[in-house]
Amino acid sequence: MRNLWILTRFLLKSGPGKSNQKSGKKKAFSDGGRIVVYLLLGVCLLPVSVLLFFLGYSGYTFLQPLGLETLLIEFVCAIGMMVIFFYGLPLFLSEYYMDSDLVKLLPLPFTPAQIVGAKGFCCLLNEYYLIVLLFFPFLLGYGISAKMGIFYWINMILACLIFPVVPLVYAAVLTMLVMRLFKNIRNKDFLSYLGFAASLIFAIGINVFSRSIGNFEMQDIMNLMESQKGTLRAFRTIFPNLPLMTGSLADASFLKMILYIATTAVILAVFFALAWKIYLPAVLGMSETTSEKRILSKEEVTRTVKSKNPVRTYAMIEWKKLYRTPAWFMNCVLMPLIWPVFMLGIALISIISSLGMAKTTGLWTRLVADGTIFRLLKGELPVAVAVLTAAGIAVMMSMFCVISATAMSRKGSEYIYMKCIPMSYHDQIRAMLVSGILISLLGTLPYSLVFNMIAVVFGLHPATLLYTTAITVLFTLFVNYEQLLFDLAFPKLNWENETAAIKSNNRSLISVLIDLTVGAILIGAGYLLYGKLQLNIHITTSVMILLTAVLTFAMRTALFKWGVQVMEHLESA
């Protein structure tokens, strides 16, 4: 037990992104960035928390006369356990099999059960963030509505603390069994893609759930619970401590809470016994990556050694590193390309449902057949909305595309080769910009053009296409210039794995906040000119484009002037 506690404290102190920090100032900077990230996530999940609070509050009021209030708690707890289970799968893949500290921990005098326990406790702490934002609000609303006594509130706190344990144990056991039985998947590249896919499915599921729960009526929830009683019985079998937890909350029974804790402890003990047998053989068989070796043909060799433009060649090297490194490809390339598609899908679903409702109510006839939609898109206001929307999309895109924001940091200890190759720093900066600019434009420009072209067909001013394209391109250039300059000035070159170069790089977060601030100022200036000073929309848009162009040119000049000086004196940071 003493070794378990020592190892747990060590892992908590030297978590991701902290093990290589050399000063208290850097540690405080990292912790501050981490707090900002958690606050942003909390703000994003706040609407879901409010909905769950009112679900618990209204659910008790509606279901108590029917005697189904206990079933409501059990139903929500069962859903919560499945959410924790699916969220835990990529978490355990990352913590148990992909963490770089495994090489250092395995030779130390720790048993596999102690390593599993310490890492599992770190995963458990990560789950409490979801518990506070998603599970606690529901129980809080339920308790307030039912006017529960002191035992309920004590049991509620204990339930929130112990609730994630069993789903996480199941996730850990499933992960270990898969890794133990299927040897062909024991490489970090495959696990990176698998973990990303699981995280993406989880994020989409949370979004769909939050959208659907807002449309639920109490009668719908009651019908759903009635239809899923068989599923609840299956959950009681899979999670044997679930009835004890729901009973301790519904009846405010401290005895049932003690039995719930005891059952959880037994499951935890069995887990540690299994971990002793199945964890160590799988983790010893891990490989860093997979590769295919083949002999190049004479034509391929000739094509490879052919002289090419140095900037283009260097840019291709940067791109190949991006898509061949799973952590970089998923966070830097896929994220800015997937989220616009995801948001577009939600928008299309909303539009299709609105059109269906419009046809049913006769609104479609008034909008299209009578030409109302053509009149609505005439004038200055639709142009202003389109321009501001395009600017807003470009601003938000800076949050997802961090290719330029991590271009220097991703080089890590290999940055020294930049000083050795026969290529000027000016050309190296140009090459590092290419991937970031192209991916950023792919994530913004096509959607803006498609929507505006459709709107132009229905009567929007054709100049809107020129305005939105100019603003999108100029702001995208500004963002990439600023992010690369910031990363050159404050690179994170000391990291143990590729994920840490991005996930633990708080410099990129600060750079993104700078871009959002500048974008908000530009949008605010456009609103002030058009909404307050009553300038013509074409004059307003021209001023905004001119202002963005000036800022972009100034940032480009600063990048190539100061960036070259920074690279000349660059040392490990």
With contact defined as beta carbons under 8 Å apart, do 162 and 265 qualify? no
pLDDT at 359: 56
pLDDT at 553: 93
With contact defined as beta carbons under 8 Å apart, do 303 and 203 qualify? no
Residue of 529 and 200 predicted with greater confidence:
529
CA distance 28 to 18: 10
Mean pLDDT of the chain: 75
- 3-state DSSP helix/strand/coil % of the chain, to nearest 5: 80, 0, 20
Does residue 322 sit in the same domain as residue 259? no
CA distance 173 to 168: 9
Does residue 362 sit in the same domain as residue 479? yes
pLDDT at 554: 93
Contacts (Cβ under 8 Å, ≥6 apart) of 41: 129
Per-residue pLDDT band for 191 (boundaries 50, 70, 90) equals low
Does residue 317 sit in the same domain as residue 373? yes
Q: Is 268 exposed, middle or buried (0-12, 13-18, 19+ CB in 10 A)?
A: middle
pTM of the predicted protein model:
0.57
Lowest-confidence region among 183-192, 333-342, 347-356, 484-493? 183-192
- Residue for token digits 């003493």? 2
With contact defined as beta carbons under 8 Å apart, do 112 and 276 qualify? yes
pLDDT at residue 205 above 70?
no
In-domain check, residue 20 = no
- Give the distance, in angstroms, between the CA of residue 345 and the centroid of all CA atoms in the same chain: 18
Angle made by CA atoms 240, 246, 250, in degrees to the nearest 5: 155
CA distance 327 to 316: 18
Does residue 522 sit in the same domain as residue 387? yes
Percent of the chain with pLDDT over 70: 69
CA distance 30 to 298: 50
Per-residue pLDDT band for 549 (boundaries 50, 70, 90) equals very high
pLDDT at 550: 93
Looking at 266, 284, 302, the residue that finishes a domain is 284
The DSSP line for 435-454 is HHHHHHHHTTHHHHHHHHHH
Condensed to tens digits (0 to 9), the pLDDT of residues 393-413 reads 777 776 678 888 888 888 887
- For residue 490, give its domain range: 310-568
In 18-172, beta strands by DSSP E: none
CA distance 403 to 502: 9
Does residue 416 sit in the same domain as residue 319? yes
Looking at 235, 250, 284, the residue that finishes a domain is 284
First to last CA, the chain: 38
In-domain check, residue 375 = yes
Per-residue pLDDT band for 182 (boundaries 50, 70, 90) equals low
Residue of 134 and 475 predicted with greater confidence:
475
pLDDT at residue 295 above 80?
no
The DSSP line for 305-326 is HS---HHHHHHHHHHHHHHHSH
> Mapping DSSP to helix (H, G, I), strand (E, B) and coil, where does residue 187 land?
strand
Does residue 314 sit in the same domain as residue 278? no
In-domain check, residue 29 = no
Does residue 390 sit in the same domain as residue 532? yes
CA distance 287 to 293: 16
Condensed to tens digits (0 to 9), the pLDDT of residues 88-115 reads 777 777 777 766 676 677 777 777 777 8
Does residue 319 sit in the same domain as residue 270? no
Polymer length in residues for the chain: 573
With contact defined as beta carbons under 8 Å apart, do 573 and 491 qualify? yes
Query: CB neighbours (10 Å) of residue 164?
Result: 26
> Mapping DSSP to helix (H, G, I), strand (E, B) and coil, where does residue 19 land?
coil
Does residue 473 sit in the same domain as residue 554? yes
Does residue 77 sit in the same domain as residue 199? yes
Query: CB neighbours (10 Å) of residue 547?
Result: 16
Does residue 384 sit in the same domain as residue 259? no
Per-residue pLDDT band for 36 (boundaries 50, 70, 90) equals low
Looking at 267, 284, 301, the residue that finishes a domain is 284
How many structural domains is the chain composed of?
Answer: 2
Rounded to 5 degrees, φ, ψ at 280 are -60, -45
In-domain check, residue 532 = yes
In-domain check, residue 276 = yes
Per-residue pLDDT band for 556 (boundaries 50, 70, 90) equals very high
Condensed to tens digits (0 to 9), the pLDDT of residues 217-245 reads 555 555 555 555 566 777 777 888 888 88
Query: CB neighbours (10 Å) of residue 512?
Result: 20
Alpha carbon dihedral 441, 444, 445, 447, in 10-degree steps, equals 150
In-domain check, residue 169 = yes
pLDDT at 214: 47
Does residue 352 sit in the same domain as residue 420? yes
CA distance 242 to 81: 9
- State which of 287-291, 365-369, 495-499, 562-566 shows the largest mean pLDDT: 562-566
- Residue for token digits 């992010």? 483
In-domain check, residue 38 = no
In-domain check, residue 381 = yes
- Give the distance, in angstroms, between the CA of residue 235 and the centroid of all CA atoms in the same chain: 29
pLDDT at residue 438 above 80?
yes
